[in-house]
Amino acid sequence: MRVYIDPEACLGCGVCTAIVPEVFSLGDEGFAVVLLDPVDELFRDLVQRAADECAEEAIRVEETHDSFYKI
Protein backbone atom coordinates (compact mmCIF):
# COMPACT_ATOMS: atom_id res chain seq x y z
CA MET A 1 0.00 0.00 0.00
CA ARG A 2 1.03 3.57 -0.50
CA VAL A 3 0.30 6.39 1.88
CA TYR A 4 0.19 10.08 1.02
CA ILE A 5 0.01 13.24 3.09
CA ASP A 6 -1.80 16.25 1.66
CA PRO A 7 0.67 19.03 2.49
CA GLU A 8 -2.05 21.66 2.10
CA ALA A 9 -4.24 19.98 4.74
CA CYS A 10 -1.67 18.77 7.29
CA LEU A 11 -1.32 21.03 10.33
CA GLY A 12 1.47 19.00 11.95
CA CYS A 13 -0.54 17.99 15.02
CA GLY A 14 1.38 14.69 15.28
CA VAL A 15 -1.53 12.31 15.78
CA CYS A 16 -0.23 10.05 13.00
CA THR A 17 3.30 10.00 14.41
CA ALA A 18 1.97 9.02 17.83
CA ILE A 19 -0.04 6.14 16.37
CA VAL A 20 2.57 4.67 14.01
CA PRO A 21 6.01 6.34 14.22
CA GLU A 22 7.45 3.62 11.97
CA VAL A 23 5.49 5.12 9.07
CA PHE A 24 5.02 8.83 9.90
CA SER A 25 7.34 11.54 11.15
CA LEU A 26 7.17 15.29 11.41
CA GLY A 27 9.49 16.78 8.81
CA ASP A 28 11.80 19.77 9.10
CA GLU A 29 8.92 22.16 8.50
CA GLY A 30 6.75 20.53 11.18
CA PHE A 31 4.35 18.69 8.89
CA ALA A 32 3.85 14.94 8.57
CA VAL A 33 5.89 12.95 6.09
CA VAL A 34 5.66 9.28 5.12
CA LEU A 35 8.82 7.32 5.88
CA LEU A 36 8.10 4.14 3.89
CA ASP A 37 7.14 3.65 0.25
CA PRO A 38 5.47 1.31 -0.14
CA VAL A 39 4.19 0.80 3.40
CA ASP A 40 4.42 -2.77 4.68
CA GLU A 41 1.12 -4.58 5.22
CA LEU A 42 2.20 -5.11 8.83
CA PHE A 43 1.24 -1.49 9.50
CA ARG A 44 -2.13 -1.56 7.67
CA ASP A 45 -4.41 -1.31 10.72
CA LEU A 46 -2.33 1.40 12.41
CA VAL A 47 -2.07 3.46 9.21
CA GLN A 48 -5.82 3.22 8.75
CA ARG A 49 -6.33 4.30 12.36
CA ALA A 50 -4.02 7.28 11.80
CA ALA A 51 -5.99 8.23 8.68
CA ASP A 52 -9.28 7.89 10.54
CA GLU A 53 -8.07 9.99 13.47
CA CYS A 54 -6.48 12.74 11.37
CA ALA A 55 -8.68 15.74 12.12
CA GLU A 56 -7.65 17.42 8.87
CA GLU A 57 -8.21 14.28 6.74
CA ALA A 58 -4.71 14.81 5.34
CA ILE A 59 -3.81 11.10 5.06
CA ARG A 60 -4.75 9.08 1.98
CA VAL A 61 -4.20 5.32 1.79
CA GLU A 62 -3.97 3.71 -1.65
CA GLU A 63 -3.85 0.00 -2.39
CA THR A 64 -1.11 -1.22 -4.69
CA HIS A 65 -1.27 -4.30 -6.86
CA ASP A 66 1.75 -5.87 -5.17
CA SER A 67 -0.05 -5.86 -1.80
CA PHE A 68 -2.64 -8.28 -3.19
CA TYR A 69 -0.06 -10.79 -4.37
CA LYS A 70 2.21 -11.13 -1.34
CA ILE A 71 3.07 -14.71 -0.47
The domain total for the chain is 1
Residue-by-residue DSSP string for the chain: -EEEE-TTT-----HHHHH-TTTEEE-TTSSEEE--SSPPGGGHHHHHHHHHH-TT--EEEE--HHHHS--
Judge whether residue 70 has pLDDT over 80.
no
Q: What is the CATH number of the domain that holds 38?
A: 3.30.70.20
What is the reported pLDDT for 66? 59
Q: What is the CA radius of gyration of the chain?
A: 12
In terms of residue numbers, what domain contains 59?
A: 2-68
Mean pLDDT to the nearest integer, 55-69: 81
Q: What gap in Å lies between CA 64 and CA 11, rounded to an integer?
A: 27
What is the reported pLDDT for 64? 80
Please choose, from the candidates 65, 63, 3, the residue with its C-alpha nearest in 3D space to the C-alpha of residue 17: 3
